[in-house]
Amino acid sequence: MAMTRSAPDSCPGVLRLHQAADGPLARVRVPAGRLEPAQVLALARAASDLGDGNIELTSRGNAQLRRVRDAAELTRRLEQAGLLPSRTHERVRNIVASPLSGRVGGRADVHGLAADLDAGLRAAPRLAELPGRVLFTLDDGRGDISGLGGDIGVHATDADEFAVLLAGRDSGIRVSAADAVPVMLAAAHGFLEVSSGQWRLREVADGPRRVADSLGLATAPQRLEFGATHEIPIGWLTQDNGLVALGACIRLGSLPARLAEFLAATERPVLLTPWRGIVLADLEEWAAEQVVRVLAPMGLIFDAESPWLLVSACAGKPGCAKALTDVRADVAAAVGEVTERQHWSGCERRCGRPPGAITDVVATPAGYRVHPAH
């Protein structure tokens, strides 16, 4: 039976910081993970001037700053950089999209839809009431996003046809590109009608069917199945237009501000991925070669064989009061031995665990316990 929520969700934002064990934490929503170079620079400078010197990447392609010293100054800077375009809707802008869409493969370009969805969310006063946990997904048909367990999403089945996903499952509803955003916004309103205080659509009794009914659209008999994939963009990727995108892994999703400043200096868009990595897009070949030469020694990982691609970890000590150990330091010490996907946690809650088959390494008072993938 679904758990009944007795309190509003407490997802952090910029205007509402989370009091972590190591200090205030700010989460910056980055719809579709897309950052302009000036925004990367603004985040980097905020991380070094006002935070702990790192930009943390989240499993929703958002950015976090830890140990924030001056929340008012952070707000001012992020608003100036266009990273806080709405004070009323900041925490509901949880939108993930296929990072390579429109550049490398895929059936449709969903990044324009993501921008329209963001604008539509911000323009609807009632949708400010959505819980901060609600996740919107846009998959360009390659299947990298639809398995992430979103609440409301679309999945391209053709250049101009999308399956509507509710609670991560195909609802059977098919819409055109022009209707994709209006239908997602209608589904968000539908969620609020049935949510009864729940944070996720899957927690609402019969939620997906009730929201689908509220849309009043015909359903196709066949249903698509989506699973979690681990085909993260890594290394040299030739774009459909001949330019180059570079996919890079960031160790445990923690991007040092100095490295982010170098990324900004390329003057190219940066996409934060839900696998806590980045894609640096639209590079000429010579520039891509330079980036690899300069930034690989600084810590960007372009090698698909790196064991860092296999590991993820929760915050652990000192960021989390519940942590039994400094998980991230322990992962760093052990990563050379890792040969399978692993998620390390500082306690049984297993925060940030990616979906799918993955070995859990969980701290207990008696040391780490390993739960093999199944």
CB of 292 to ligand SF4, least distance (A): 33
Tell me which residues in 319-358 interact with ligand SF4 (CB under 6 A). Answer: 320, 322-323, 345-347, 349-351
CB of 26 to ligand SF4, least distance (A): 17
111 CA to centre of own chain: 14
Q: Which is nearer to ligand SF4, 130 or 320 (CB)?
A: 320
Q: Quick one: tokens of 202?
A: 């899957």
Tell me which residues in 263-322 interact with ligand SF4 (CB under 6 A). Answer: 314-316, 320, 322
Q: How far is CA 300 from CA 10, 47, 233, 254, 317, in A?
A: 32, 18, 13, 11, 24
- For residues 95 and 91, give the distance between their C-alpha atoms in angstroms, rounded to a whole number: 11
Q: Which is nearer to ligand SF4, 101 or 325 (CB)?
A: 325
Q: Quick one: tokens of 240?
A: 């459909």
Q: Which is nearer to ligand SF4, 174 or 328 (CB)?
A: 328
CB of 311 to ligand SF4, least distance (A): 14
CB of 33 to ligand SF4, least distance (A): 22
- Judged by CB under 6 A, the number of residues near ligand SF4 is 12
Decide if residue 11 touches ligand SF4 (CB under 6 A). Answer: no
Q: Which is nearer to ligand SF4, 165 or 363 (CB)?
A: 363
Nearest alpha carbon to residue 184 among 143, 229, 139: 139
Q: Which is nearer to ligand SF4, 152 or 363 (CB)?
A: 363
- For residues 7 and 162, give the distance between their C-alpha atoms in angstroms, rounded to a whole number: 35
Tell me which residues in 177-206 interact with ligand SF4 (CB under 6 A). Answer: none
- For residues 236 and 241, give the distance between their C-alpha atoms in angstroms, rounded to a whole number: 14
The answer to whether the CB of 46 falls within 8 A of the CB of 80 is: no
- For residues 334 and 317, give the distance between their C-alpha atoms in angstroms, rounded to a whole number: 17
CB of 71 to ligand SF4, least distance (A): 22
CB of 316 to ligand SF4, least distance (A): 5
Decide if residue 230 touches ligand SF4 (CB under 6 A). Answer: no
H-helix or E-strand containing 76? helix 71-80
CB of 119 to ligand SF4, least distance (A): 33
CB of 109 to ligand SF4, least distance (A): 36
CB atoms within 10 A of CB 88: 12
Decide if residue 16 touches ligand SF4 (CB under 6 A). Answer: no
Q: Which is nearer to ligand SF4, 210 or 350 (CB)?
A: 350
- For residues 253 and 259, give the distance between their C-alpha atoms in angstroms, rounded to a whole number: 13
Tell me which residues in 124-163 interact with ligand SF4 (CB under 6 A). Answer: none
Decide if residue 252 touches ligand SF4 (CB under 6 A). Answer: no
CB atoms within 10 A of CB 329: 12
Q: Which is nearer to ligand SF4, 334 or 351 (CB)?
A: 351
- For residues 81 and 65, give the distance between their C-alpha atoms in angstroms, rounded to a whole number: 16
Burial class (CB in 10 A: 0-12, 13-18, 19+), 19: exposed
Q: Which is nearer to ligand SF4, 136 or 344 (CB)?
A: 344
- For residues 160 and 92, give the distance between their C-alpha atoms in angstroms, rounded to a whole number: 27
**Which spans of this chain sit near ligand SF4 (rule: CB under 6 A)?**
314-316, 320, 322-323, 345-347, 349-351
